[in-house]
Copies of this chain bind each other. A is one copy, B any other.
Amino acid sequence: MAVDRDRLRVDIKENAQFGAVESDSGCGRSVLTGSDADQRARKRFITRLEDAGLEPRVDPVGNIAGRWIPDGVSADTAPIALGSHLDSVPRGGIFDGPLGVYAALEAVRAIQESAETPSRPLEVVSFTEEEGSRFGVGTLGSLVAVGEISVEEALSMTNDDGDTFEECLERIGFAGSSEIDPATWDAWLEVHIEQDTELESAEIPIGVVDSISGITNCTAAVAGESNHAGATSMVDRRDALSAASEFVVDVERIAKEVTNDHPTAVATVGRQDVEPNVRNIVPGRVRMEMDVRSVNGDAIDTIVERSADRFERLEHERPVETDFERNRDMPPIELSDRCVDAIELTAERLDVESTTMHSGAVHDTGNVAAKTDAAMLFVPSRDGISHSPHEWTDWDDCAISARILAATALELT
């Protein structure tokens, strides 16, 4: 069974034309849900499904699936589903999402062209609005598919222009009425770029993802007092930025300490807004947003609790008030041993080196995993760059992932 590296490359390159952006790399794209670029990317995907004999269907939130039922297989046998997403962040890359969709299609084509006959239907899937760039909720399409968010709630969401999700889908002709339900799948596999440098550094082409980090978001606000930077002596000032800066350094130190026991743990103060943010005024207020992740829920709790304690202690050390809120918790997700084992076995059999790893980023697979056996395959990202026109994965690595995907799908049937 052989995948066609060039057919996969052409699929990804042609898909990259939709929403293409100017960049020195020559291959960035902006494919926001409901845009013309999104419509064109979806239409081409439908055509490519049909070209391969997969009958496409579209659900009410624009998720697309195409199913191939091999000869002799009953139509009501639970399928093995493979896929990812076609949308991007603004000025994103051409691999994040489309690689997983078109590697899935290539895997099915490779199986169709081989001597092998799977014992289950194969389904190629593209979920809507994975990036959350247009309606503010990441993995929106798969959240609806697994029933975490109702169709009605999703369709009434509005974007920055005031348009509802429903209006956007109707405009591009992708408000369907079919059902795409992960609970009816026998298993799910998603190929995705790693978005970090572990595979590249180790020169390993395949990462077998056995867990997805949980995420906790917090906000930390400091209130001091805005004052004249010249007229206010050092002892009289209530500088909110100095206090906030201690917190940023503390969070980093605490997270690094926790990685001794929990190497997947990370904590980031990614956003910091200073008021009034003028050179010659002592900062009066700072608001920070913090993101904490780990595949181990206890590690997240430890980082959040120690950071909150340290933050609160600033009130005793400085003339400021602090306010810490733990806003949102997404628990860590263990993926399916059955799927992980199948990928590892397949890679070994095909003599492709692989390594087990976690995903620090959120993926549709995290939602699907609540409903059926699921796992992911990571491929190397050059310099770990993603969400950028500089995102890149070698075509050979793309082809390897499609080959492992195809063989694993067969292994699972």
- How many residues does chain A have at the interface if contact means C-beta atoms less than 8 Å apart? 63
Q: Is the CB of A239 within 8 A of B268?
A: yes
Q: Does A269 contact B (CB under 8 A)?
A: yes
Contacts of A389-403 to chain B: CB distance below 8 A? none
The complex places the Cα of A213 from the Cα of B229 at a distance, in Å, of: 11
Q: Is the CB of A242 within 8 A of B232?
A: no
Given the known inter-chain contacts A230-B291, A234-B256, A245-B248, please indicate yes or no for A270 contacting B279, CB distance below 8 A. Answer: yes
> Which of A8-16, A30-38, A108-116, A354-362 lies at the binding interface?
A354-362
Q: Does A274 contact B (CB under 8 A)?
A: yes
Q: Does A293 contact B (CB under 8 A)?
A: yes
Q: Is the CB of B279 within 8 A of A271?
A: yes
Q: Report B-chain residues with C-beta under 8 Å of the C-beta of A228.
A: 195-196, 360-361, 386-387
Q: Is the CB of B230 within 8 A of A266?
A: yes
Contacts of A201-230 to chain B: CB distance below 8 A? 213, 215, 217, 227-230
Q: Report B-chain residues with C-beta under 8 Å of the C-beta of A273.
A: 277
Given contact pairs A234-B255, A246-B249, A271-B277, enumerate 5 new A-B contacts (beta carbons under 8 Å). Answer: A194-B231, A228-B386, A229-B270, A237-B268, A242-B252
Q: Report B-chain residues with C-beta under 8 Å of the C-beta of A247.
A: 245
Q: Does A282 contact B (CB under 8 A)?
A: yes
Q: Which of B241, B244, B245, B268 contacts A229 (CB 8 A)?
A: B268
